[in-house]
Structure 1
């Protein structure tokens, strides 16, 4: 019986997705919940599990193609006309077992998010592909017999006939570590390579030079290729970011105000906290203190923690702070949120910020973590930039750019001294926030950073 699978509604109001890569091909036999493909929405990469057990007969979209929700993706030949009953998703559940173990409950992988769930159980082996017309396979007995300190010769993608299955951030992570994912694929078998697999392999082989492909291609600068131009498709996060920024820039009247502040006392406080053994596991840096100062200052200027609802003719003021933190990733700029940031202590904010950053860099930020947000911070100081004019995330009335901390001659207690200086750049929606309120907010943040003890007066 033929069955078809259409692109499902992935939530968060998303209407389309781009096929990043197929993990199956026509003729492959798939099991219930086996990952069929990775698709990239405007906010995140999502794995699509199979709703059927059967044989793939056709793929109806190519890798790199953008398809609308409800469009036909893949067709199957199945034994039954009805999909196999699926259990409810379970947080952190293991991939489904093969049909030979019916006693164990099958649970589908998480539809929203990025990366394969780590598991010691290998997925069912796919049908062997052909390279140059001849079937090839990997002799796993050689791997099992080899001692850990000796790496046997591994097949290359050209010899296997297909690229090892992994996700773009995982491949980029392996590349940064100088590891060829072909070597990992030969060890773990025919399943998606996860970040955990890369980390385990890197820890096992250490910094040995044989972990790096011997014939890695050299990257040629574009100006040296002889080509007059390069065309890059606008898709994924870049497409979403561009649309959002255009919408924001031409909807909300932006005003930006700047304030330069002496943060020497804040930097001294950070140095003191880092020496406290009870806080050793918390990464407390300038951005954490700025985040805390922002949450405190918003209590006096709620307009900057508001949104404009034109349809209802209302200004909506949340009684909480979901703090957006702009993160530059390999997929583009994203702004995940720290939920309830105003209720967190400094160590809790530090932990939340570390987790948010690591999740964003690994490409595992989910659409739910990118939705909402009541106020945002962008740390341009990490790029050595002092000030800028940030564009508001859609639906927010304020965003603060944090500049680099620099040692400069500064007036201090009537004399010139070498102090640590930072510039704050606040952009706000002038429909909601007037100039006085914007100035008061940025001054409140600056006062806290200039004298952290002032924070005690705002509660």
Structure 2
């Protein structure tokens, strides 16, 4: 029996995802819960397991293609018979998005089995049933009318002819004619700035395919249209904003223009912290984990917010929610954009456990392997801008949080110690906070406490 697996909502309430990489090809044998594909949502890269055991019949989406939740992405031939277990797995694949089929009535929601790697939400995105095809002419959906820039150049239309411009007759569609293209192809064209009406379709019945759009983008561009005649290279590059970068941009704009940000600064002598880091690295408890100054910064911030709980809260508009636990977010720059995974219940961890959790989280973030649960539920965040060789910055709050600490580079600076000038290890701390929840006095206490513990790490023991 041939089974289709539809793209699920991976527990985030999202509506689409991009196919990053297939782990299987048609003809491969697959087992239940075997990883078959990596997808990129607006938050992270997620591995999807297979709900069936059988043989891959077809891959129904290409790598790099953006697919709507509920759309079929793979078909698997499972054999002739169907037992109770098969029926349950079919319910998972077919009912993840009720009513997603063509013209199908929405199915009654029921408890669904859960595969390893992601959960299932019964409130998954619904779609209206498609209307049956009509013989009446259908106008083309709106497409981008932005002139194609240098690296988005559309295919050059052929010379004018007396033949009518109908898809499939070797001519591009006229502006008033219906453009035959699947929704994923239309979205790709919008992202790349390609005008579908200027293309000649090579698909069935003259439909425009993904390959047609990509060929249009790759078409040579005259030097006068934006390339350098001398070098033949494009002078401008256009990168579609999607996935993690798009979600981050929307979140940062929402945060910056909704929460009244205040930022305070403090220069700190961290010579004692650097010495403590060196000593910790020699202890057997830390032999298999990475010990860096970030570990003690994290411990200091956790201790500070336990002393001042209002800095570990969120604003709902109607009330302030104070969190008596610390899910510590660590901002991480990745190839796909900025993400902020968090260590759950970091305040309950020993120092070696915290070091191990931070190391594993950072490694997964850089590899794009963070799970959706790790990217939500944070209560306060650290951003280590010092790794980029800068002294400090004014960090923007992670949405849902009221404070974020930026740590600058640690460098040698002249410093007065006991009335004498000396060269010390110094860093700059910058604390941004939501002034609706954290006033200047409270923000100053938190920042000063963090600084004091980094100057003298023994304070962490006294204040913990």
TM-score by length of 2: 0.65
How far apart, CA to CA, are the structure 2 residues paired with 1:28 and 1:269? 54
Residue of structure 2 equivalent to 1:398: 403
Between the aligned partners of 1:16 and 1:289, the Cα distance in structure 2 is 39
Count residues with an aligned counterpart. 331
What's the CA shift string for 1:69-121, capped at 9, x where partnerless? 222333455544858727999xxxxxxxxxxxxxxxxx9973349xxxxxxxx
Cα separation, 1, equivalents of 2:43 and 2:272: 38
1:322 to 320, 327, 335: 327
Of 362, 366, 373, the match for 2:371: 366
Residue in structure 2 matching 1:271, options 257, 263, 278: 278
Cα 1:393–1:108 change in 2 (3 A) is closer
Tell me the secondary structure at the aligned position of residue 262 of structure 2: strand
- Residue aligning to 1:169: none
In structure 2, the partner of 1:206 is none
Cα distance, 1:293 vs structure 2: 0.6
What is the Cα deviation at residue 19 of structure 1? Answer: 1.4
**Deviating more after overlay: 76-85 vs 300-309:** 76-85
Aligned residue for 2:307, secondary structure, equals coil
- Indicate the SS of the match to 1:292: helix
| 1:247–1:56 distance in 2 versus 1, CA, 3 Å | same
Q: Which runs of 4+ in 1 moved over 6 A?
A: 86-89
Task: Show the counterpart of 1:297.
Answer: 304
Aligned to 2:444: 439
Shift of 1:278: 5.0
Measure, in 2, the Cα distance between the counterparts of 1:83 and 1:36: 23
Go from structure 1 to structure 2 and tell me whether the alpha carbon gap of 1:317 and 1:112 turns closer, same or farther (over 3 Å shift). same
- In structure 1, the partner of 2:117 is 111
* Aligned counterpart, 1:45: 45
Residue 328 of structure 1, CA deviation: 1.9
1:290-340: CA deviation from partner (whole Å, max 9, x where unpaired): 111101110222121001113xx1110111111111122233222111111
**How much does 1:265 deviate?**
1.6
2:240 aligns with: 233
**What is the aligned partner in structure 2 of residue 375 from structure 1?**
380
Q: Distance in 1 between matches of 2:340 and 2:84?
A: 38
Q: TM-score, normalised by structure 1?
A: 0.65
Aligned with residue 251 of structure 1, among 213, 233, 258: 258
Q: What corresponds to 2:463 in structure 1?
A: 458
Please tell me the root mean square deviation across aligned C-alpha atoms, in Å: 3.0
Change (3 A) 1:22 1:283: closer
Contact 1:297 1:444 in 2 (8 A): yes
Partner Cα distance (1:243, 1:52) in 2: 37
The answer to whether the aligner puts 1:4 opposite 2:14 as a matched pair is no
Which structure 1 segments of 5+ residues have no match? 90-106, 114-222
Q: Quick check: 2:328–2:343 contact (8 Å CA) kept in 1? A: yes
Asked if the contact 2:285/2:352 (under 8 Å) is kept, the reply is no
Aligned to 1:428: 433
Query: Secondary structure of the equivalent of 2:74?
Result: strand
- The CA deviation at 1:55 is 5.6
